[in-house]
């Protein structure tokens, strides 16, 4: 996921140089790196606030608290950091704080898509289940009894509710028999989606909700 094209700035580079690169790559921040050491993120607002674009970046105060992740961290941690600081790039460093590159917004989207099996063919089923009745093995058994399998499963809980929302991505678009089986076993099926356009809207809505949650 680490980009090999987004450049790192040096403290001797000017604010205008950084702004030019931000425009080219459509990002709002760039890392500052001297030799291999990651020093922090410069944002376009940092440059505009100083209002001296020809000044070296080393003279610009940085508003961000040197955010970064390690290469071994989970994609959700990357997303959480990006949401918390409203980042368009997330720097990746090694254990020695040596800079390895950045993960861009687009790569974050691709990572979530791969993690959630978004790029795999199939449909979506959303169940509403009372917490005490939740059984992953039972849900899997119902899906597999209809000659299908679960590609990914996500559980959403609300602290003010006793129910869970379970989102299943399955490897088939023929969901009728699976939905009927869930209903026969008294599961509440709130949504099921198979059409490609509907799936695109579904994933967009869910991603926006995830980012809103991570930004809380």
* Structural domains of the chain sorted by starting position, each given as residue range(s) with its CATH number in brackets: 15-113 (3.10.580.10), 116-214 (3.30.70.260)
Task: Tell me what the pLDDT averaged over the chain comes to.
Answer: 88
Q: What is the pLDDT of residues 162-188, one digit of tens each?
A: 899 999 999 998 899 999 999 999 999
pLDDT at 215 over 90: no
| Model pLDDT for residues 94-105, shown as the tens digit of each residue | 988 899 999 998
Give the Cα separation of 27 and 8 in Å (integer).
Answer: 12
List, for residues 149-164, the tens digit of each pLDDT value. 999 888 888 777 889 9
């Amino acid at each position: 996921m680490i980009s090999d094209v987004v450049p790192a700035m040096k403290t001797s580079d000017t604010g205008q140089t950084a702004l030019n690169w931000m425009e080219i790559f459509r990002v709002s921040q760039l890392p500052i790196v001297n030799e291999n050491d990651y020093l922090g993120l410069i944002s376009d607002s940092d440059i505009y606030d100083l209002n001296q674009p020809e000044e070296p970046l080393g003279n610009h105060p940085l508003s961000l608290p040197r955010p970064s992740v390690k290469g071994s961290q989970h994609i959700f941690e990357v997303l959480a950091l990006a949401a918390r600081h409203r980042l368009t790039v997330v720097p990746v460093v090694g254990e020695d704080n040596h800079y390895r590159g950045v993960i861009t917004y687009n790569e974050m989207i691709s990572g979530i898509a791969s993690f959630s099996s978004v790029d795999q063919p199939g449909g979506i089923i959303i169940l509403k289940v009372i917490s005490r009745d939740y059984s992953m093995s039972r849900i899997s058994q119902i899906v597999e009894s209809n000659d299908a399998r679960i590609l990914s499963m996500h559980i959403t809980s609300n602290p003010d509710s006793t129910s869970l929302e379970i989102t299943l991505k399955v490897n088939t678009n023929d969901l009728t028999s699976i939905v009927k089986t869930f209903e026969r076993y008294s599961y509440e099926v709130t949504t099921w989606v198979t059409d490609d356009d509907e799936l695109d809207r579904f994933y967009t809505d869910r991603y926006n909700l995830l980012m809103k949650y991570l930004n809380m």
